[in-house]
Amino acid sequence: MRKIYLQTKTAHQMIYDFEDGHLNNIKYQNAEHLQVGDIVSGVVHQVDQRLKAAFVDIGQSDLAYLAFDQVYNGQVHKGERLILQVERLATKTKKASVSSIIQLKSDALVYLPLENSINISNKLNTDEQVQLKEKLDQIVDHGGVVARTVAGQFNFSELKEQYSHLKSKWDTVSRHYQSKGVILKEQNLFNQFLNGVSHSGVDKVIVDDLDKVQAFKQSFDHLRHLIQYDRQFYSNKPISITELYEQLSNRHVKLKNGAAITIDQTEALTAIDVDFGSFKDEASKHPPYLEINVEAAKESAKQIRNRNISGAIVIDFLNMKTKREQQMVMNVFREEAENDDVKVHVVGFTRLGMLEITRKRVNENVYQFLGVDERSLAKYDAFSYKELEENLLVYEANPDVDCVLVEVEPHQIVNWKAMIEKIAYRHRFHFECYIGQNNSLHAPYKLYKIGDVNWLLSRQEEGQLNIDKVF
């Protein structure tokens, strides 16, 4: 049985894809963070002729990097306002990269609003290219278009509708040209995912927001009968954010056969080590290296996908004596990697016998998304804020909750109060919330459900509590 859970209301948006009770796939994004493909408006802060690049203020905490070869005329000047598209997200050591070559994409077309040519995928045969060009000549009245390979499968009306939609997006961008920061969130996590879901393999699509249910039903008619709203979504979803942290940030992952893989992140690369773990096969005198390595290859590809690990990756498998065994393991990894939306390149086995892989960096990895240190795996405040937001939504579905009390350490009270106000603005909870100080906490915060607000206020009047109302 396959159930898909769409968590749309929180700032940390998530898709949980469960098959027979097991988390098979997960997608996530922070709705407030930059994503690759976002359209932004920025002002050139500095031009460096030596680097052949400019640094642009796009309303983020750091400037973005704009190479001259990503500008149509090859030059910009200080103070110039530009519409840009995010090409690469920032890392600890590199700034976000942006481009003035805007590309808006649909299933069949790529719209280039600042160009004026029509180009057809060369993977189509000559007749298909001619027919497609004739259709697009009648449709395109502004900007340039690249027809993707699948464009040949769409009729005239469908292509016209896609073109009109992309052009409308650009019109929206143009109207907000003077607004610094994000103008258009190009990638919709949920639409992208649901586009690839077939109704035949899914039993339920469960959503946390009633308005989103109606929108998804209109957009995805083939899933209409499967999409449903759950008022108790945050109580009923099979995995909490704390359990997700334990699953996806754990260095050690046990395989079905008892063996294990260990995942370690460094500045330069990610290393995955395969070991016997608790594997036992007393019937065999020779350890079944191939069996363990095949299972490890499958799990490694899955962990790379679900943790959104990018860059250089090496996997140290157990002893493989022949090229044939290496090829078998490599094929298994490639097959599992086909389920990945992000491009994965299998380089091959090194002379030291390690499998070398690279994966394109698109968005945050799971550690950055959750708010966890990639090396120590310690939780930052950002994780606790996400956890609190989900816990408050559990109470929002309970009409018996009159108010809640959040206790934090005294030196953190200002930060927590500001974050709780931000969460409340997003959700408009039906209950009241108070914040108090506690010097003896063993966790970042403690949350109490209060049935009667008058009881809480009476304790405050008696001097037993020092609390402030947040909302």
Cβ-contact 64, 97 below 8 angstroms: yes
What distance in Å separates the CA atoms of residue 15 and residue 130, rounded to the nearest whole number? Answer: 41
**What integer pLDDT is reported at residue 283 of this predicted model?**
55
Confidence of residue 187 (pLDDT cuts 50, 70, 90): low
CB neighbours of 276 closer than 8 A, spacing ≥ 6?
A: 258, 259, 260, 287, 292, 318
pLDDT in tens, 391-442: 999 999 999 899 999 999 999 999 999 999 999 999 999 999 999 999 999 9
Of 38, 55, 39, residue with least CA distance to 47: 55
Of 255, 372, 241, residue with least CA distance to 303: 255
Question: Would you say residue 313 has pLDDT above 70?
Answer: yes
What distance in Å separates the CA atoms of residue 219 and residue 194, rounded to the nearest whole number? Answer: 9
Q: Please, what sign has the CA dihedral across residues 205, 211, 215, 217?
A: positive
- What does the mean pLDDT of the chain come to? 92
CB neighbours of 421 closer than 8 A, spacing ≥ 6?
A: 470, 471
Confidence of residue 3 (pLDDT cuts 50, 70, 90): very high
Radius of gyration of the chain from Cα atoms?
26
pLDDT in tens, 343-393: 999 999 999 899 999 999 888 899 999 999 988 889 999 999 999 999 999
Cβ-contact 370, 241 below 8 angstroms: yes
What distance in Å separates the CA atoms of residue 264 and residue 249, rounded to the nearest whole number? Answer: 10
**What integer pLDDT is reported at residue 132 of this predicted model?**
95
Residue with tokens 């920032």: 90
Residue with tokens 């973005």: 64
pTM beyond 0.85, yes or no: no
What distance in Å separates the CA atoms of residue 105 and residue 111, rounded to the nearest whole number? Answer: 6
Residue with tokens 């698109």: 362
CB neighbours of 370 closer than 8 A, spacing ≥ 6?
A: 12, 241, 244, 245, 248, 249, 379, 382, 383, 386
Helices 323-337/289-307 angle, 10° precision = 30
pLDDT above 70 covers what percent of the chain?
98
pLDDT in tens, 142-155: 999 999 999 999 99
Beta bridge partners of 252: 262
